[in-house]
Structure 1
Amino acid sequence: MGSMYDNKVWTLVDLPDSRKAVENKWIFKRKTDADGNITVYKARLVAKGFRQIQGVDYDETFSPVAKLKSVRILLAIAAFFDYEIWQMDVKTAFLNGDIEEELYMVQPKGFVDPKNADMVCKLQRSIYGLKQASRSWNRRFDKVIKDFGFIQCHGEACIYKKVSGSSVAFLILYVDDILLIGNDIELLSSVKGYLNKCFSMKDLGEAAYILGIKIYRDRSRRLIGLSQSTYLDKILKKFRMDESKKGFLPMLPDMEYGMEFEVLFGVSDGIQDITRSSGMVRRMRFIYRKSYSKFGNDPVHLWKVLEGSRKVRKKRTMEGGVPEGLHNPGRPNPKGGVPGGLHLGWPATPPQGKVGVPP
């Protein structure tokens, strides 16, 4: 609640006769570190945004985030050129977004003003749970960072760059997580100072864990490695697969496509809860391991082919692949430039035949 008052999120007013106030609730969460240890217990006030009326309480809701493949490319570039990789976190980021609509919310439970119990909160800033909260925050940050001289990278709305002579800095934004990458410590420090003036920030030093990804780095050898082992463990525990038998192939070599599509709606031998299945699909698409990233890029195909026992097999494969990460060797390229690679998946939907397993 201190953050609410500091950001002047609302003012108490009488509710207009023609309007309804959005309700809210308290959410309690545990935040963990790279090893899964609990570091913070958080209580967050969240609006019941599902009660908002489109066209009255909100309009546009889309908000971009940085693409994970772009994040990995920049991390590889940073390792190759030995750039600094710093990490920051915006505290209560959504409370910094400006509300354009006229929006009212009931006073939060436990913090009702006894002198104005009949009044409601007229929101001046966005709060978590509102349909437009993420968009409001993103637009505010976009304006602030551009005022400091950063420009958006082409095709990436949440990756910014600033070049000054031989100094270069990249800023990656993923909701409230920030990565600063560059070759000039003075420039990066000035960006940190500027952001601290504009928002309430947490300086996390050199990047070690972001978006569920552990970052390992050996600067003397220009090596960098990424691992999602903690994230994979969370998924396996959430869907009660942590005790399952491990597998090492995301697809059975002799499995035929175009069969048993009745499992699409959970009527076969697999997972029968359609909501649980969709949650599994969403989380799988966040995994970058190349051996099954091809299937995660097509959610419809992934849904049909991996439903039921197939999806269970993929979960087991994930467990079998927990120790695996992506590693960039950082070796100089004799032809110049940054070395890169392209993983070509085998055909995802052959009309006939069986799944091919690369040698």
Structure 2
Amino acid sequence: MSLDRSAEPVAPTATTAVAGRVPLWRRLARDRFALVGAVVVVAYALVALAAPLITRALGVDPYTYDLDALGPSGAPAGPLGGVSAEHWFGVEPLTGRDLFAIVVMGSRTSLLVGIGATVVSMLVGTVLGLVAGYFGGWVDWVVARLIDVLIGLPALVFMIAVGAVAPDWFPRLLLLVLVIGLFGWSSIARVVRGQTMALRASGFVRASRALGASHAHVLFRQVLPNLASTVVVFTTISIPGAIGAEAALSFLGVGVPPPTPSWGRSIGDAVTWFAVDPVYLLFPGLALFGVTLAFNAFGDGLRDALDPRGGSPRRRRRGGAR
């Protein structure tokens, strides 16, 4: 009679033992791409936190109209979208608002919505995945069907619909956080559910249950700590998706209302003026691209650092070359 040993712990090899003793920050620092991504993420965060101080120190305001900077047609006067010593990134067509101030203040909107929505997704997905994977039965069936339905839904279409019919009195930023977050928990729930099912069959969980530990103790004191690295990495790589969703909704006109600075709405407005003033599209587009790339690079490196046995194919190829 053969025994199923798939749930038994795997003895660490010499490589994984040595890698486990190396501090996380040192393993992360070996990946230069991830290190650059982390620096860029910190820079974006600092700009978002200090945005009012930066704009005030430079004497620019995203809510001040400067019609003198516009030509007769409403386009920025002068070359390169009105770029000058006074307006570093030029000005917004029709309003003359300083584009540098809009990009700097827009970082607060993007990071606030992106991080807030990701936190909502991680909380809902982690709790539902834990409960479904641990208890199984009809609870697992219900959660699994919810995951299937949510994955099959055209999320962006439903986000647009909710954004369009939401009442004006509801805070728009809070609405975006809730809508994007509640439509984005299915992926982490599926991952947590699968790993919880594997941990439920492990020896330490069976031993805890045999000693009379409560379900809450097992879930939050034993199972969840073993999933912490997965949740942290998933959170990091989910933030750019939430930022992109906010930009897409603002681009389509159902995101943050004007005159609140938003990269997505600036990009949407720039499409109309692209033939006349392509520079207007450049700076908010680069800001959105930069923060998305930085979070993805940092998340990829963090995943490799937290999983020294596996990691990404890029790391495995690099390791094999040595």
Q: Same fold (TM over 0.5)?
A: no
Between Structure 1 and Structure 2, the one with more strand by share is 1
Higher relative contact order structure (alpha carbons within 8 Å, sequence separation ≥ 6): 2
| Length-normalised TM-score, structure 2 | 0.22
Between Structure 1 and Structure 2, the one with more helix by share is 2
